[in-house]
Amino acid sequence: MWKTWHDWVPDGTDQRSVLDEIARHMKSAWEFRADPGNVRFKAGHQLAHKGWKFRAGVESRDGTLALPGIKGLRALIIAGRHEWFEEASRLAPGEAVTAIDAPSQPARNLIGNLCGIATPLARFRVQGAEIWMSPEPDCWRVVDVIVDDPSAIGLSQATSAAGSGCLGSAAAALVVIALGLVGAVAGLQMLG
């Protein structure tokens, strides 16, 4: 079947089909990695994310670094790690595991909270990472990508950038709230 760059059309709902479709869109986005503002990069990024469970993540094996799915996926795309998903597709079906089998407590917590601690999952051990998937009502979805070397995909740098952006947003929100309170107090003083 002919597939366009702007459609999410896995061949089926099984692990291999979903991994192939994620890899296809990651590779499409990777080709435009020099210009993340490009519509093809954005489309590939967003369409690859359709194969991820809501609140899924990318983290280091020791659990010390983690990114939410959309930011983690971006780091994986820019690092060219669509190859991990292609490799996982060739290995499908994955090894049957549960969240208890995750390599760190943070990973067990994330996967257990997303899927349930005893839910049957699939794990794919690829060169440099583990890709974890859960069966969802519509298809299999990625719930976690556990990376052996976070610096190899820029996870450390992405975490720093994400953290500073969050702090900047939080500080801006606090300023808005403070200004609102000052205005409210001034208004009450005028009435009183």
User: Domain range spanning residue 94?
Assistant: 15-153
Q: Is residue 131 part of a domain?
A: yes
Q: Is residue 162 part of a domain?
A: no
Number of folded domains that form the chain: 1
Q: Is 108 exposed, middle or buried (0-12, 13-18, 19+ CB in 10 A)?
A: middle
Q: Is residue 170 part of a domain?
A: no
Residue 181: pLDDT band (50, 70, 90) is very low
Percent of the chain with pLDDT over 90: 58
Q: What is the mean pLDDT of residues 18-43?
A: 93
Residue 155: pLDDT band (50, 70, 90) is low
Q: Which residues contact 192 (CB under 8 A, 6 or more apart)?
A: none
